[in-house]
Amino acid sequence: MAEQTASTKKVKFIITRQDSPESAPYAEEFELPYRPGMNVISALMEIQRNPQNAKGEKVAPVCWESNCLEEVCGACSMVINGKPRQACAALVDKLEQPIRVQPMRTFPVVRDLVIDRSRMFNALKRVKAWIPIDGTYDLGPGPRMAEKKRQWAYELSKCMTCGVCLEACPNVNDKSDFIGPAAISQVRLFNAHPTGEMNADERLDALMDDGGIEGCGNSQNCVRSCPKGIPLTTSIAEINKQTTKHLFKKWLSV
Amino acid sequence: MNGYYSRKLHSLLGVIPLGLFFIEHALTNFGAFEGGLARFNAGVKLINDLPLLWLLEWGLIYLPLIYHGVFGLYIAYQAKPNNGRFQYSRNWRYLFQRITGVITFVYIIWHVYETRIQLALGNITHEQLGSTMHDIFVQPGLFILYLIGVVSASFHFANGLWSFFVSWGITVGPRAQRVSSYICMTLFVLVSVMLVLSMIAFRGAEFQEATAWLDTVKSVLS
């Protein structure tokens, strides 16, 4: 009896699919039995179990990526009802139906909802988003970080490289080489660290080049979209300040 | 030139000198509203009496304007607006900044052609600027085109000033940026109203009489 009532209610999905990186995208509809508390990932799992579209045809199951299922890894970012977000945290009960699911097209689409976020990891390498502590001998403990600073820096460290801010940014596209908000915020994080600060100029130099911080157009969609609530626009403005200072220091010291 | 420096230069030139010149221009025009033809002509004369005027014009207006305009068109081209998906006021202003930039670019070419270039060609004199504007503004179609032009220019200037404060790291936090946007949007309204009032003032008979008077002089002389 309980099963019967559960299967009468249906959830409709319209998923943008793509068979290969080069092939054309197409929309496919799916109708799934509603289950209380289901989210977009559990719906995709349901499609995987029974890969049948709304017309009843057997199709290849929809591909997607996910890991943590608790909105901390950033792997399952996709565009759900027009907004980029994590599929694992997108509860069906809170979504308008039909639920439209699309890949984040700012990134190259590998297949269906799977995208290639390599550019974000390359950006982190470019700005040296780490603290070099390796040496040939023990360098000893670094300087202490003030607790007050640690508290806001911790917020910046929540970035999971999910790509939502890049998807929301009108200046991250194929006509521009803008690095995107995430990496700029990481520069602020590592430049705030007492040991990381020792390499602050290298990170600023990396952003003061083509496709660096100059690409920001102040639409501020990033800060409104970040699932971790990271103050991205404050980070960008702070790095604007640091690069401006660095610019004048460089000019006046030669 | 490295993209960072070229973008930074674009941002700087938009405020210094172009933004300052824009304010100066709005004030001179407002003279027409405040004190009529005499006041406006006094303003024009004040500028024309400046030493090294050609250098000031090229160094502080034409060259910065060409750079800011052409590079700005490239920035507008690079944008991929997504206002349908993200209907936030800041995102709208991002779009309007680019649209008004392009409108202002076209408008300034037209406006400079009708005034400064006509002066350079010797078709009009400095004293006839007021009547030239009068002849334009009495035509409703041209008045509306000018209205779109000056409102676009004012928005582009005021909102650009807001972005300038962010881009140079002056307003960093959300509160500072919010307060700065109130100030800049007030400036937008203020400058727009000033310019529109000047446009209405130029429609006045006083400015027409100047041409009528000059025409009489011309007919007498010929």
Residue A73: band (very low, low, confident or very high) from pLDDT cuts 50, 70, 90: very high
Cα dihedral sign, B123-B128-B130-B136: negative
In contact, B150 and B202? CB cutoff 8 Å = no
**pLDDT for residue A5:** 52
Look at residue B110 and tell me whether its pLDDT is greater than 90.
yes
Domain with CATH 1.10.1060.10 in chain A: 118-252
**Average confidence (pLDDT) over B59-82:** 97
Look at residue B211 and tell me whether its pLDDT is greater than 90.
no
Residues of A with CB under 8 A from a CB of B: 82-83, 168, 170-171, 173, 175-176, 207-221, 224-225, 231, 233-234, 236-245, 247
CATH topology of domain A2-115: Ubiquitin-like (UB roll) (3.10.20)
Look at residue B192 and tell me whether its pLDDT is greater than 70.
yes
Which residue of A lies nearest to B86 if distances are taken between CA atoms?
Answer: A221
The three state secondary structure string of A197-224 is HHHHHHHHHHHCCCCCHHHCCCCCHHHH
Dist CA B96 CA B92 (whole Å): 6
Domain with CATH 3.10.20.30 in chain A: 2-115
Which of A106, A218, A221, A244 to mutate against chain B (most B CBs within 10 Å)? A218
Contacts with A240 from chain B: Cβ below 8 Å: 166-169, 172
Identify any residues that bridge with A115 across adjacent strands, giving them in sequence order: A109
**pLDDT for residue A197:** 95
Which residue of A lies nearest to B12 if distances are taken between CA atoms?
Answer: A244
- What ipTM did this prediction achieve? 0.92
Look at residue A1 and tell me whether its pLDDT is greater than 50.
no
From the list A82, A219, A237, the residue facing B91 with the nearest CB is A219
Residue B163: band (very low, low, confident or very high) from pLDDT cuts 50, 70, 90: very high
CATH topology of domain A118-252: Fumarate Reductase Iron-sulfur Protein; Chain B, domain 2 (1.10.1060)
User: Could you tell me which residues come within 8 angstroms of residue B213 by beta carbon, excluding any fewer than 6 positions away?
Assistant: none
Look at residue A88 and tell me whether its pLDDT is greater than 60.
yes
Q: Are strands A109-111 and A83-86 parallel, antiparallel or unpaired?
A: unpaired
**pLDDT for residue B167:** 97
- Percentage of chain B modeled with pLDDT above 70: 94
**Average confidence (pLDDT) over A161-165:** 98
Pairwise CB contact (< 8 Å): A240 & B174: no
Identify any residues that bridge with A79 across adjacent strands, giving them in sequence order: A84, A102
pLDDT in tens, B132-144: 999 999 999 999 9
**Average confidence (pLDDT) over A63-75:** 96
From the list A171, A218, A242, the residue facing B163 with the nearest CB is A218
List of domains in chain B: 3-206 (1.20.1300.10)
Distance of CA A216 to the CA centre of its chain: 17
From the list A175, A234, A238, the residue facing B78 with the nearest CB is A175
Pairwise CB contact (< 8 Å): B91 & A220: yes
Dist CA B28 CA B22 (whole Å): 10
- Percentage of chain A modeled with pLDDT above 90: 92
Contacts with B158 from chain A: Cβ below 8 Å: none
